Chains A and B, each alone.
Chain A
């Protein structure tokens, strides 16, 4: 089942989409742990995207897309927005315990099985697949 959700850059939208995804995953019989891990990762991606999208682009293109697909072996999420290319780092090590930032992308790397980013035709495409073991 594929779902496309259109989101604005406002805070409440992210919460709504996470609830929709949680419900969809529960219907598919996915565990609470799987749901939690995927939801945290989607939240981190949205936070990252909001942070890296200039205000001018948010005003010109106030909506971005989240494509969500359930497969027998996992869940695929693609987030697409219109904005300049940005550096998508994939840290392999956790930041120091006392650092106040830098954990989001590390969490993504740990909990998502396949993660890719590309910039094409003025759009950012962030694709992630989480396997249901």
Chain B
């Protein structure tokens, strides 16, 4: 499984899979960890293609949040569908993540600069 990570203005945009579940959580978490440890503490987790998340998938989001703290970074969530958003809110994760529907706005919020580059 390949996790696509694109960078715009020092923000790493991680494209999460359609199913973020126990069976692939460790792989996704490892990919995110490696990217953060390489000096990329500003992370935008793109849930736009993610249709299904279980508690192990939620733990991936939390792991990313915790991993950027030592580097004074931040993690935002992008474009979760209504079902996934309901799960995030049920488990109160919206209290630690800012959630955006628009990529440019999310990047601006992470880095304080308007997005000027396209993928």
Contact = CB atoms under 8 A, between A and B. Distances in A.
Nearest to A35: B83
Nearest to A106: B91
Contacts of B65: 98
Given A36-B52, A104-B55, A97 B23 contact: no
B54 A104 contact: yes
Interface string A31-43: 0110011011001
A98 B59 CA distance: 9
Given A97-B96, A98-B96, A103 B21 contact: no
Contacts of A103: 55, 58-59, 91
B2 interface: no
A97 B54 contact: no
A101 B59 contact: yes
A115 interface: no
A110 interface: yes
Contacts of B59: 100-101, 103
B92 A97 contact: yes
A57 to B, nearest CB: 19
Band of interface residues on A: 20 to 34
Contacts of B66: 98, 100
A32 B84 CA distance: 11
Contacts of A94: 90-92
Given A37-B83, A43-B21, 17 more contacts: A14-B23, A36-B52, A40-B52, A40-B53, A40-B54, A40-B87, A47-B54, A47-B56, A97-B92, A97-B96, A98-B62, A99-B62, A100-B59, A100-B63, A101-B59, A107-B91, A111-B90
Interface of A: 11, 14-15, 18, 32-33, 36-37, 39-40, 43-44, 47, 94-95, 97-101, 103-104, 106-107, 110-111
